[in-house]
Structure 1
């Protein structure tokens, strides 16, 4: 679909680029000639991903370990990146989410999601955007959101609220920063099974089973479909496209709402099992981070 080397000369930052959807997009950009920068909380994971991507595709991938909830750390990272040349594009992919009955949420649980998804996405966008404006450089931003921004997300309220904020940021800054040649768009993908998503959103189920049963196309999404859409949005082929959130979910949100409404049928025992599975996974992740 895309010409070889179409991204030659681009420098693209992908947050959460060491795993899952972020790594998939970063790898496609690299294969098309971009210089890629990835960041995540676990630098060792990003370092490993960077080495594997370069071994497979050549090119240059730089990894940073940063917690995007820390505005000062984000600004320091972006400042260091720009010392090597301005970014041309940003992909806001880093996120956090887990299923829970809202009445069971603690303030800490809410903040764990909101501080990454809403605050962190703004911190990175702000740090990059203000440097583009100061230097007179154009740029393009993609943010990964969810279809729930249009109709709500029961049982994932912190994510639904925070992703809605990112959706609104996309529209607002597309208007405010358009005069500087800066475009902002968002992608709202349906379920594309990844390890992190499955552990916290469907911890007691077979990955993709619910989507395959309910989706009008009878399947989950594929990584290459997201890669292709993200590549198109960052390409030079749509310079007047800005302020849009594009759903890519096989029409599932149109047909079913695309959210977790059906979890209203879960019993207390099922919620306890899910909560225990998520807690165990969080403990394993903390042990891996040391």
Structure 2
């Protein structure tokens, strides 16, 4: 099963640090001498080597020059960029509001022909109604303290629903039963969201399964993840989005999704759970 995605990002940072250490050793210099050549405090070198601080692109160029390895700079910079894109804090991604980020997610949805999605917390964005999305995004904006552009962000998020109906996209979605019970908005708005799930279930592009709360677990509840084709996984934590591209980890998430799918119920059984959640709102 997948390890902590934040630990995967840290492991990638440590790999970059290890390459920088190898350059230093190949050059026959220690951290103190490298620091002197780069013109910075030795404490900075120590933080980079222990992966406590990520080097900037200019830091990498200076490091490579100090080690007479200028030919390694471009590759290390590209690797560092990829590592830093793995783990991105929501406050940074949404520092100017949520609309721009929603447009980026739209591009991911447009590109992927097959999506496998597992959620344990909220209804996936492409299934959301405007009222549900508004209530959810207002709570996120309030929690994060980021600029309020919820109205524009909701429009951008709801636009993703078009891919349910066009472009040959396929959506295999597994949700925990708790998602049906976590209320966002008024009871009427939440009921509208649940009725919308009943509406999209018959679509040829959609497979929607619900894991009953009493189901025997073969995989523990996980943080929400979105598997785009077999190329990219996005994992959502409280504080950050983690992007996973490593083949071994992609295989782990695909395996987890397959196991979670086996625990879910579909068709009339799933509709029964959704209707029960609607009834509970009354």
Report the TM range for the smaller structure's normalisation.
0.3 to 0.5
Larger radius of gyration: 2
Higher relative contact order (CA 8 A, sep 6+): 2
Q: What is the TM-score with the length of structure 2 in the denominator?
A: 0.33
Give the helix-richer structure, 1 or 2.
2
